[in-house]
Structure 1
Amino acid sequence: MTNVLPTADPWPALRVADWADTRETLHMWTQIVGKVRLALAPMVNHWWQVAFYVSARGLTTSAIPGRRTFDMEFDFVDHQLRLRTTAGAVETVALEAKPVADFYRETMAALERAGVDVSILARPVEVEVAIPFAEDRTHTAYDPAHAHAFWGQLVQASRVLNEFRSRFIGKVSPVHFFWGGMDMAVTRFSGRTAPVHPGTTPNCPDWVMTEGYSHELSSAGFWPGGDGEGMFYAYAYPEPPGFSDHPVPAGAYSPEWQQFLLPYETVRTAADPDALLLGFLQSTYEAAALHGDWDRAALEDDPARRAGPR
């Protein structure tokens, strides 16, 4: 019998309110693993070294250097945190309903068994209430179907954001998942330095934000929060005059959030989700580049041309 594969991955529906408890628990779990990477990976501009990446099964740290190189992956198919080292060790921690305190203890024990020596600042960042991981028995929920659907959202967001990223030859970040804010982003840079960022992020030192926003940028991504099914967003730092009034065919500027927002559900239910989202990404980038006087001729190029014969 011939296996018939689907022509494309679906854009999954997942209402924020339906998985809020799982989301909050998973946020804390990703912070634990993210802090392991933060503790061992060499510093890269704007904290790029701490982020995760979408994989064919979930979210991965990619290879983390140390006395023994290893990686860690949230597998949202088999629902395991999988740890693998270059020495051949494989350790797993079950992704199931349990307190953050238990997940923290099990994860640190798995690292120790695998021969990974690491110490982390064991409390969350960028959240209003920062319960130390070892004491957190408040966040206990984990619904496998919801976690799998969330990963499906990230698969789609990452795919389109990577296509958008390919159009830029200036300094541009990878498409990566930041566990602090629990969002996926790609960021383009004009090449100029920026005013010192004011900080003010909850439980996050101002100097962290100063490094993250040290250079003029246009950033866009996906956040699985807010209302509905989450939001695609786009903003500029510093925001140039005229940015908020720039015509954007999809989405709208939010004065409260100081960024353009496009509901995930609007994209998911569109006749051509990719085209709608790419239009939003391109137009919001142009809002930053045009009003911020970026050198677009030096920063942009056609990926199809670059892939052709030399």
Structure 2
Amino acid sequence: MLRFPNRSKTADWPELSFKDWSNTAATLHMWSQIIGKIRLAQTPWTNHSWHVPFYITARGLSTSLIPYDGRAFEIIFNLLNHQLVIQTTNGGQQSLALESRPVSSFYQNVLRALATLGLDIQIFTTPSEVADGIPFEKDSTHHHYDREFATRFWRALVQMDRVFKEFRSRFIGKCSPVHFFWGSFDLAVTRFSGREAPPHPGGVPHLPDWVAREAYSHEVSSAGFWPGGGKIDTPAFYSYAYPAPDGFSKAQISPPEAYYSDKLGEFILSYDDVRTSESPDDKLLEFLQSTYEAAANLSGWDRSALERELVPNP
């Protein structure tokens, strides 16, 4: 296997203790849902909800261009200078400081900024994929924003985005972009075998069952990163298969720090195990590749038709 140049070092991956930034993470999650739902309301449906995620940029997270009548706009979470920036293709711009404030205040300020730019957009205000979610206009619970940890989170995503894209380059079958889902608040990349899958059971909080079934309409091996929360209280990488083939949970995967979580039904590798290793890139790629191989081999994917040899950059 070819090795890519310019591997990262431990120092390139910031410390990201979930306990220390959980309040900021919860607030940023809700803010991101507001912006994500704006994109959802305006963007034509793309298979597997690929029309709604954000993308990692040189300053933070971006919606990419969103159509609006005969023009378009983009919304950017600048997590380096701590601004929410809304830009339109006819030269308009509005900014909102990212600072400690309730979700309800953030929501109202975003609506005012959109109105100033002539963007009249209505969204469903109950958070998606969150049990007992508080409607944005009523949410005074989530209000904390720590600049240092918001920037650390983005810097960590920059490293992951690069490694995930290297992993993605090995696959020539159908594969998602590397993208950030604001509903589940995770960075993800998903490979497809090309075969149909059994209907997904649904049951995701505040997410229509048909959306989940369309997202998992075909067999997948999916991997990504969570910052922590819910059933896992530490930042971690994950990998799962849908449908999970027989023997998947017992498959031999690597590195040795990785394990199968019965609670989640997924393989897990701690962010700190990657960050503190001699070569974080290689440690993460080892996890991504071995868990994919477990899913593909046990499910009988046609790997010779779906994979390719790596080629060096010119």
Residue 275 of structure 1 deviates from its aligned partner by: 0.5
- Give the equivalent residue in structure 1 for 2:72: 69
- Give the equivalent residue in structure 1 for 2:184: 181
* Pairing partner for 1:288 from 292, 295, 312: 295
- Give the equivalent residue in structure 1 for 2:121: 118
Residue 294 of structure 1 deviates from its aligned partner by: 0.4
- How far apart in 2 are the matches of 1:179 and 1:228? 19
Instruction: Give the aligned residue type for 1:159.
Output: R
CA contact (8 A) 1:228 1:263 kept: no
TM-score by length of 1: 0.94
Residue 131 of structure 2 aligns to a residue whose secondary structure is: coil
- Give the equivalent residue in structure 2 for 1:235: 240
Q: After the TM superposition, which residues 1-310 of structure 1 pair with which residues of structure 2 at under 5 Å, given as runs?
A: 10-67=12-69, 68-226=71-229, 229-250=234-255, 251-304=258-311
Instruction: Give the aligned residue type for 1:234.
Output: S
**Structure number with higher relative contact order (C-alpha < 8 Å, ≥ 6 residues apart):** 2
Instruction: Give the aligned residue type for 2:225.
Output: F
Residue 160 of structure 1 deviates from its aligned partner by: 0.6
Post-superposition CA distance 1:238-259 (Å, at most 9, x none)? 0011212221122111111111
- Give the equivalent residue in structure 2 for 1:4: none
- How far apart in 1 are the matches of 2:78 and 2:234? 22
- How far apart in 1 are the matches of 2:137 and 2:263? 35
Residue 10 of structure 1 deviates from its aligned partner by: 1.2
- How far apart in 2 are the matches of 1:164 and 1:136? 39
CA RMSD, Structure 1 to Structure 2 (Å): 1.4
Residue 284 of structure 1 deviates from its aligned partner by: 0.3
Percent of pairs with identical residues: 53
Residue 229 of structure 1 deviates from its aligned partner by: 4.2
Post-superposition CA distance 1:111-149 (Å, at most 9, x none)? 111122211111211111211111111111001011001
- How far apart in 2 are the matches of 1:191 and 1:66? 34
Post-superposition CA distance 1:23-77 (Å, at most 9, x none)? 1111000000000000011110000000000000000001111212010000011
Residue 152 of structure 2 aligns to a residue whose secondary structure is: helix
- How far apart in 2 are the matches of 1:276 and 1:228? 21
Closer/same/farther in 2, CA of residues 228 and 269 from structure 1, 3 Å limit: farther
Structure 2: stretches of 5+ with no match in the other structure: 1-7
Post-superposition CA distance 1:257-293 (Å, at most 9, x none)? 1110000000000001100100000000001110000
Residue range with higher mean Cα deviation, 29-38 or 129-138: 129-138
- How far apart in 2 are the matches of 1:56 and 1:24? 23
Count matched residues: 301
TM-score by length of 2: 0.93
Residue 155 of structure 1 deviates from its aligned partner by: 0.9
Residue 151 of structure 1 deviates from its aligned partner by: 0.7
